[in-house]
Structure 1
C-alpha cells in the first residue's frame, strides 16, 4: 500500500493534469464560434473543476497540501502551446485535435493512478474520475470526427 506522501503525490499529479484540462476546455470555449461546441467545452471545464475540488479535498483529508495550479511540465506545456496555436486559426478540427491530445494525457495519468495500491476510498474516486475522463475523451473524439467529415464535405 502506498504511504501517505505517495498518495498525496499521486493525487496532486492528478490535480495538475486536471487543472490543465479545465483550462484547456475553458480556453477552447473562448475560441470557437459554434454555440453547441462552446457550451460543451464550458460544461466539461466546469465538470473538471468539480473533479479538481474533489481531489483537493481528498488531499486535505489525509493531511496534505493540494496542488493549486496546473502543471508546466514539458509535454503538457508543449501540448498547451500547440492548443493555443490551433486556437489562433479558429479551425474547429485543429482545436478538437488538441483537446483530444490533452484528454489522452489525462487518461494516461488516471490509468497510472488507478493501477496504484491505494486505499479503497481514494481508489474509488480515481476510478470514477477516470471513467469521466474517458467519456470526455470519447465525446471530443466523436466531435472531432464529425467536424472532419463536415470539413471534407465542403
Structure 2
C-alpha cells in the first residue's frame, strides 16, 4: 500500500463524482415531475460533496486532486439532451441514463474498495459507496412511483 495507490484511486473517484454531479444536474433539467427534479438535484449535490471530500483527502496525502470530469460524461449529457428533445421529456429515458451512470460509478467504487489504503480513507470510500447505493434505490423507487418501468 502506498499513498500513490490511494491518490490514484481517489482521483478516479473524483472524476466519477464530478461526472455524476453534472449528469444528475443535466437530468434534473430534462425531468418533468417536480419530485424527480428535486431527487436529481439532491443526487447532484451529494455527488459534488463527495468530490470535494475526495479532493480534500488527496490534498491531505500530498497529492494533486482531479478538478474536471471526463469527456465521455460530456457526450453522455449531450445524448441525454438530444433524447429528451426527440422523445419529449421521456422520464423513462432520463431514469435509464441516471441508472446507467450510477452503475458505472458503482463499478469504480467497488474497484476503489479493493485498493489497500489507510482505514480512514477506506471508511470514506465505503460511506460514499453506501450513499451511491441509496441513490440507486431512490431512482428505482421513483421509477416505480410513476410506474415508469
Same fold (TM over 0.5): yes
Say whether 1:66 aligns with 2:56: no
Say whether 1:131 aligns with 2:130: yes
The aligned residue for residue 112 of structure 2 is: 113
Say whether 1:85 aligns with 2:70: no
The aligned residue for residue 141 of structure 1 is: 140
- Helix, strand or coil at the partner of 1:11: helix
Alignment RMSD: 1.7
Say whether 1:25 aligns with 2:24: yes
Provide closer, same or farther for how the CA distance between residues 145 and 81 of structure 1 changes in structure 2, counting only shifts above 3 A: farther
Distance 2:31 2:140 in 1: 16
Distance 1:67 1:35 in 2: 33
Distance 1:12 1:23 in 2: 17
Conserved 8 A contact 1:83-1:98 = yes
Distance 1:39 1:72 in 2: 26
State the 1:79 CA deviation: 4.0
Q: How many residues align?
A: 147
Calculate the TM-score normalised by the size of structure 2.
Answer: 0.90
Q: Which runs of 4+ in 1 moved over 2 A?
A: 76-89, 144-147
Unpaired runs of 5+ residues, structure 1, are none
The aligned residue for residue 5 of structure 1 is: 4
User: Which of the pair has the greater relative contact order for Cα pairs under 8 Å at 6+ separation?
Assistant: 2
Conserved 8 A contact 2:58-2:65 = yes
State the 1:47 CA deviation: 1.1
Distance 2:100 2:32 in 1: 21
